[in-house]
Structure 1
Amino acid sequence: MKRSIIFIIILLLSFFAFPSVSFAWIDQFNSSASVVIGQVDFVHGSVNQGLSINVNTLSFPRIASVDSGKIVIADRSNNRVLIFNSIPTANNASANVVIGQQDFTHGIADQGLTVDANTLDFGSRRPDVSYAGSKVFIADSNNARVLIYNSLPVLNNVSADVVVGKSNFTTTSCTPLSASCTSNSYGVFSDGTKLFVADTLAARVLIYNSVPTTDNAPADLVLGQSDFSTSTPGCSQSKFNNPIGVYYDGTRLYVSDWSNNRVLIWNHLPTSNGQPADVVVGQTDFDSCAANQGGGIGPNTLSAPHHATWSDGQKLVIADYGNNRVLIYRSIPTANNASADAVIGQVDFNHGLANQGNANPDANTFNAPDGVRVYGNRMFVAEVSNNRVTIFNTGPENPLALINLGAPTTTEHHVNLTLSAEGAYEMMISNNASFSGASWESYAATKEWDLESGNSLKTVYIKFRDFAHFESEVVSASIELPSSAISTELPVTGSNIPYYLISIISAYLLALLALATRSRAGTR
């Protein structure tokens, strides 16, 4: 018993001794971000921080793409793309590299010159950027082209390697519309293998089965039109009206149909031109297209989604631009008019004011969220009118598990688990690291558990998830079950300490941890 008490004391002391960190996770409503890029804090939102363009400022950012621990941001009104070589952990971080400008203090379209391989002109249009497989893809919207960088630039003002949609780097027009001639493309996405382009003003989405390696490569397939030469908008199962965002999770394809106030889903990658979508989100059917379905805001409505979607194949996240919120669906919708399960940026599903009606932004508000991406245990939201990118922690934090309050040995297979994770909504427990045969259950601070058979060192594996079904890291706890237990002290097991006493001690321990969490979170 003495060793168990000492273990708990050490655990508590180590918790209080750790450096202060932020505690945030995704709840059903009104979650707060932990870090902001482009501003000094959460309550400011001016263009370029009210100063001149610089290495740490943003002006109407449209999207943040994340891969390999790096962030790439399309900074629209500064006519540039910023690269951060690591994910910021503090507010007001500085970028490492700039694309489209000679340095961090200039932001003129096409650098005040003529269009070329190293220039960008986003104008008043909506650019996009995708970073995957070491390549960078930029929808250079006002220049009506997509630029491809075969590797992530490490120096400022690097030239692109390939141009899509135009015959060369110095032209911005082409006729007639075709598989290789695009209109104004506002959206681009790649998984590193395929390329998807939302050719917005031509009311179509182009699919390239492989990433182009030469200029002016033709697309393999078109959606929204029956062929590559037409560009008529519409509201139906197979038509678009200003498609602006596109995302592919490896199985499903998602298109943000901006002026139709919806997101369309193809359950599998389309194989024919003009193939109709399988599911519509934000509308009751494929022929209805009004903002918020012509009525009030709800969990099943959308208003002008932009570079909106992200999915891991299990969950769907949509940036609902016109309603100043981000919606989370804990499972991929399989039927039209699905309702979201959680909302960020608003106190409930029925409100949609910018910054929740306040004069200034905050950590829990949005003003025109344009794009959303999730990488690891972080969510990134680009806010146009708050001139920032906010970073949210996803998944419960500081997971903890103890067996028999940390006792080193036990004489029984039946044990008591003490469990804790900030923001936990559900948990999964298993005697194997693969969690085979395990299922999610409601989170509880204590749990009776049976170790696997046999006498040896036993390990229990636990993971938690928050309300939005973002998971924590896996934690484990071990205890020795000797073949013959010989001890001079009473072992801590379910047989010699009543379960109700274990529960009381566990609850007291977790209360202390929660008190420490609130105290430290309030001082960050």
Structure 2
Amino acid sequence: MMASKTVRWLGAPAPGGLALPAANPTPTHLYAPRGVYLDDERLIVVDSGNHRVLIWHGFPTHDHQPADVVLGQPDFFHEGPRAAGHGPANGFHLPTGVTVAEGRIYLADAWHHRVLCWHRIPDRSGTPPDSVIGQDSLLDIEPNRGGAASPQTLYWPYGVAWINGWLYIADTGNRRVLGWHGLPERDQPPDLILGQPDPCSNAENRGGPPAANSFRWPYAVAGDGATLYVVDAGNHRVLGWTPPPTTDRPADLVLGQADLQSAFEQPHVPQGAHRLRFPYAAACAGDRLFVADTANNRVLLWQPIPRVGAGLPAQAVYGQYNFADSGENRWQAVGPDTLCWPYGLCAHRQWLAIADSGNNRVLIWEV
């Protein structure tokens, strides 16, 4: 385990023992957050269980600091799908991934089968989105627009990322990743469809066993411009393409499995530094790749960043004392360096922001 230090805890404090932090909606509380974004100017947290997004202007100055802006709800004290009954035009249903691209916020509103976009960073609560990807309008919420998969439809999009001038969406329900070179205009078809043989197919693992060019649950996308990583949660692995693909092709790297044809899972045994169980996030910073090994309640670090190969071991583990342990909060009390089902990651400079979903909080670690 490498040295790390928790510098911020966002969300309610833990009351002690095995009890979790409170989750009722306030400017301070979080309920099962799944997405997080951090840069020099802001922290954005997708408070998934409360169906909202919280924004802090600047780096938070103290633990449990209240957010400055709430999106998706009429105020800081409401929760529920579709803005507590106000409708889908300015309400979410299980939002998950978030990123900022060229001054715009892109939000994966997963159970509304769309990605929402704010064309500038909102400074007022309740600001509605400006545009949508995957639906005809902000009022439409059917999977694949009520029909079959096509280049312009989405089905449970859980992840969104902006990497080296490309916008990527993990279109989880359609078992594919979509990519646009640049910011897409309204209803613009993607430049890349990764994981399916054509724009209208959406079979799990292309209708066969796991392969180097297939997904079961592609949940998140990360990268550094030289390698593209897709977190394939359902196959318990992370796939990598070096260089990033411009057309559908087999991956060059697999982490969490011994080869590119395996989807091995064996719960309740030590996983070691090689295996993953339901990984749901990844993040890159410098020569480091972080992966949220969600079902093992830990974050793994590869350094230097891996680009080709299979089954490469991680060099460090966060949230557990060693590579053999996997218990929620180490089977102890909620602490500043324990994890319970980490779902989202963002690495920025020396900071690692973790959406520690099972503990109803976001941690920012210095690593």
TM-score interval, normalised by the smaller of the two chains: 0.7 to 0.9
CA distance in 2 between partners of 1:157 and 1:139 (Å): 16
Unpaired segments ≥5 residues, structure 2? 310-367
> What letter corresponds to residue 166 of structure 1 in structure 2?
Q
Question: Is the contact made by 1:187 and 1:246 (CA closer than 8 Å) also made in structure 2?
Answer: yes
Question: Is the contact made by 1:263 and 1:280 (CA closer than 8 Å) also made in structure 2?
Answer: yes
- Does residue 197 (structure 1) correspond to residue 114 (structure 2)? The answer is no
Unpaired segments ≥5 residues, structure 1? 1-34, 36-88, 397-465, 469-524
Which is helix-richer, 1 or 2? 1
Tell me the TM-score normalized by structure 2: 0.77
CA distance in 1 between partners of 2:105 and 2:59 (Å): 17
CA distance in 2 between partners of 1:266 and 1:191 (Å): 12
After TM superposition, the structure 1 = structure 2 runs for residues 93-492 of structure 1, keeping only pairs within 5 Å, are 93=4, 95-103=6-14, 105=16, 111=22, 114-122=24-32, 127-172=34-79, 173-178=84-89, 180-191=90-101, 193-234=103-144, 235-272=149-186, 274-306=187-219, 308-336=220-248, 338-354=249-265, 359-395=269-305, 467=308
After TM superposition, the structure 1 = structure 2 runs for residues 59-74 of structure 1, keeping only pairs within 5 Å, are none
> What letter corresponds to residue 389 of structure 1 in structure 2?
V
CA distance in 2 between partners of 1:158 and 1:294 (Å): 47
| Runs of 4+ in structure 1 over 3 Å off | 103-110
TM-superposed deviation, 1:359? 2.5
TM-superposed deviation, 1:368? 0.8
TM-superposed deviation, 1:194? 2.0
> What letter corresponds to residue 277 of structure 1 in structure 2?
P
SS in 2 for 1:138: strand
> What letter corresponds to residue 283 of structure 1 in structure 2?
Q
Question: Is the contact made by 1:246 and 1:309 (CA closer than 8 Å) also made in structure 2?
Answer: yes
Question: Is the contact made by 1:238 and 1:275 (CA closer than 8 Å) also made in structure 2?
Answer: yes
CA distance in 1 between partners of 2:16 and 2:58 (Å): 24
CA distance in 2 between partners of 1:254 and 1:104 (Å): 39
SS in 1 for 2:218: coil
CA distance in 2 between partners of 1:152 and 1:121 (Å): 21
TM-superposed deviation, 1:168? 1.1
CA distance in 2 between partners of 1:221 and 1:251 (Å): 19
Name the CA shift for 1:106/1:233 in 2 (closer, same or farther; >3 Å).
Answer: farther
SS in 1 for 2:291: strand
Task: Report the more deviating stretch, 93-102 or 323-332.
Answer: 93-102
CA distance in 2 between partners of 1:240 and 1:141 (Å): 19
Counterpart of 2:327 in structure 1 is none
> What letter corresponds to residue 106 of structure 2 in structure 1?
F
> What letter corresponds to residue 61 of structure 2 in structure 1?
V
How many residues end up aligned between the 2 structures?
Answer: 301
Question: Is the contact made by 1:137 and 1:190 (CA closer than 8 Å) also made in structure 2?
Answer: no
Higher relative contact order (CA 8 A, sep 6+): 2
TM-superposed deviation, 1:312? 2.7
SS in 2 for 1:259: helix
Deviations, residues 233-289 of structure 1 (Å, cap 9, x unaligned)? 1222111111110001252110011111111111221121x3322211111112111
Which is strand-richer, 1 or 2? 2
CA distance in 2 between partners of 1:142 and 1:358 (Å): 27
What is the CA RMSD across the aligned residues, in angstroms?
2.2
Tell me the TM-score normalized by structure 1: 0.54
SS in 2 for 1:95: strand
Name the CA shift for 1:395/1:277 in 2 (closer, same or farther; >3 Å).
Answer: closer
CA distance in 2 between partners of 1:127 and 1:238 (Å): 25
Question: Is the contact made by 1:110 and 1:116 (CA closer than 8 Å) also made in structure 2?
Answer: no
Name the CA shift for 1:192/1:303 in 2 (closer, same or farther; >3 Å).
Answer: same
TM-superposed deviation, 1:105? 4.2
TM-superposed deviation, 1:107? 8.0
TM-superposed deviation, 1:133? 2.5
SS in 1 for 2:95: coil
CA distance in 1 between partners of 2:25 and 2:115 (Å): 24
Question: Is the contact made by 1:98 and 1:104 (CA closer than 8 Å) also made in structure 2?
Answer: no
Name the CA shift for 1:188/1:395 in 2 (closer, same or farther; >3 Å).
Answer: closer
Question: Is the contact made by 2:27 and 2:67 (CA closer than 8 Å) also made in structure 1?
Answer: yes
Name the CA shift for 1:207/1:341 in 2 (closer, same or farther; >3 Å).
Answer: same
